[in-house]
Amino acid sequence: MPWPDLVDESATVVVDDLSMRYHVTADADEAGLGRTARTVRALVGRGPSMIVRAISSVSFVAHGGEQIGIVGQNGSGKSTLLRVVAGLERPSRGRVLATSQPVLIGVNAALQPELSGAQNIRLGCLAMGLDPDRARAAVPEVAELADLGDAIRRPMKSYSSGMAARLRFAIATAANPHILLIDEALATGDAAFRERSEARMEALRRDAGTVFLVSHAARTIEETCTRALWLEHGRVVLDGPAADVALRYRRFAWALAKNRPNQARKIIDAARQAHEEVAVHVLRTPAPRGIARHARPRVRPRTPAGVTARTREEI
């Protein structure tokens, strides 16, 4: 059956069959190698190597105007996925195509602990591509969003982790990034800061940008996102409307907290059954060198959320 001629012009990020694994040194008993492994450790001075699969066969397409939450337990691959999308780590398999450089909060801003908050705002804005005049003009607005008060004049090394996270968020959004990646940044600060930061993300989304938000708090995802991905052991359990995914994940987490593994297993199995996939063709298009690459995916729809990417032609 031929593919329908449907070009998705709104796509901003295409994640194509992405996998990431690490080789780590493990304790002999943890590796299950017993006496042999202990002998190896005694001879070479280190433990046996294990392969940790952080993410496995993850595929989806993100679109302009979407705010995508990513939920999952500790170790489910949420932060690794963001780092790969941002181009900070090379995947073991698969690829990421993006229409512009994704900005990961806390990493892209080249901040210096010896400089004041105001000086770091200018430095961070310059690092993100603003010209000197725009970087200087952005200081009052960024300082207002971070809401650090007189601390904006103090060296950043005197800031608490929460204050630093707020400043990084404010700087990262100053350049109006088309693709913004946030890893638990909204967990810091008071209710007033969360309200301001959520309003800022909504403004970015309205400008046809794409926002990814990692959070352990399913309710935050439900209240601030339009779509959500649920990861478990590095795989996508469910990709769909944020309210539905957040509700299922919240019930799953509650069952685990109450030591009801059978109930938790039923919830996650039902979520996997509800997760349907679509296929994606990536058409050959001119692309600049670098991390961010332009893509025009051709989509065969089955469901509005989940995506499995299939490459027709290498870009």
Q: Is the pLDDT of residue 308 over 50?
A: no
User: Per-residue pLDDT for 307 more than 50?
Assistant: no
Which has more pLDDT, 240 or 286? 240
Query: Would you state the structure tokens that stand for residue 140, as one six-digit string?
Result: 């009052």
Residue 60, SS3 per DSSP: strand
b (16+ CB within 10 A) / e for 259-291: eeeeebeebbeebeebbebbebbbeeeeeeeee
Q: Please check the confidence at residue 314 and state whether its pLDDT lies above 80.
A: no
Q: How confident is the model at residue 109 (pLDDT cuts 50, 70, 90)?
A: low
Q: Structural domain of residue 202, as residue ranges?
A: 11-18+57-102+178-309
33-40: which pairs have CB atoms within 8 A and are 24 or more residues apart? Answer: none
Claim to verify: residue 196 and residue 257 sit in the same structural domain: yes
> Would residue 218 count as lying in a domain?
yes
**Do residue 219 and residue 301 come from a single domain?**
yes
Residues 191 and 159 in one domain: no
Whole-model pTM? 0.74
My answer on whether 282 and 147 are in the same domain is no
Residues 158 and 303 in one domain: no
Are 91 and 138 contained in the same domain? no
pLDDT of residue 73: 92
